[in-house]
């Protein structure tokens, strides 16, 4: 086999469908758009779920019952490796993490995860810690403080 003998697999390449090129092209007359109506017109687009003005199915269905998603606690994850930007002996809390750009958005608190290696002795104040992250912080002589329940920012 040589470079000049390479060619794509059978059926991988095919000519572009040229619409509206007459009856004998096979794509003439309505050009694959079906009959008349809104979707046959150029520039037409109907949003997903639109039923021509009829009340859509998703709005007709009753919204009842319990949904656990309303009661979940969402944490902003921060890896240990990201904490290396703070100097030794610093107290790292939610305000300092947000100021450093490590925890953005609306969350119920911050959870420290064990991603990467921590090289500094820090006092970390967060809402939650993974077991491995807590062990690594305390191994270096640092401290883990669990912050109280905070409302979403």
Distance CA 6, CA 69 (A): 54
Distance CA 32, CA 20 (A): 9
* Rg of the chain over all Cα atoms, to the nearest angstrom: 30
What pTM does this model have? 0.55
Please count the structural domains in the chain.
1
pLDDT of 144 reads 94
pLDDT along the chain (153 residues), means of 10: 94 92 92 90 90 93 87 92 92 93 91 92 94 94 82 52
pLDDT of 114 reads 92
Q: What is the CATH number of the domain that holds 117?
A: 3.100.10.10
CA dihedral 4, 5, 11, 14 (to 10 degrees): 30
Q: Which domain holds residue 85?
A: 72-146
Residue 22: inside a domain: no
Residue 101: inside a domain: yes
Q: Are 121 and 140 in contact (CB under 8 A)?
A: yes
pLDDT of 70 reads 82
Residue 24: inside a domain: no
């Amino acid at each position: 086999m040589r470079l000049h003998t390479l060619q794509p697999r059978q059926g991988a390449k095919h000519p572009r469908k040229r619409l509206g090129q007459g009856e004998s092209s096979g794509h003439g007359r309505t050009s694959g758009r079906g009959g008349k109506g809104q979707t046959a017109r150029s520039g037409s687009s109907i949003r997903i779920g639109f039923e021509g003005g009829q009340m859509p199915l998703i709005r007709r269905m009753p919204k009842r019952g319990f949904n656990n998603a309303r009661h979940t606690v969402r944490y902003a994850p921060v890896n240990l490796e990201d904490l290396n930007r703070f100097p030794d002996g610093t107290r790292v809390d939610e305000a300092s993490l947000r100021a450093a750009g490590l925890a953005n958005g609306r969350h119920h608190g911050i959870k420290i995860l064990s991603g990467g290696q921590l090289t500094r002795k820090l006092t970390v104040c967060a809402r939650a810690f993974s077991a491995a992250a807590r062990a690594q912080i305390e191994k270096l002589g640092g401290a883990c403080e669990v912050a109280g329940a905070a409302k979403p920012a």
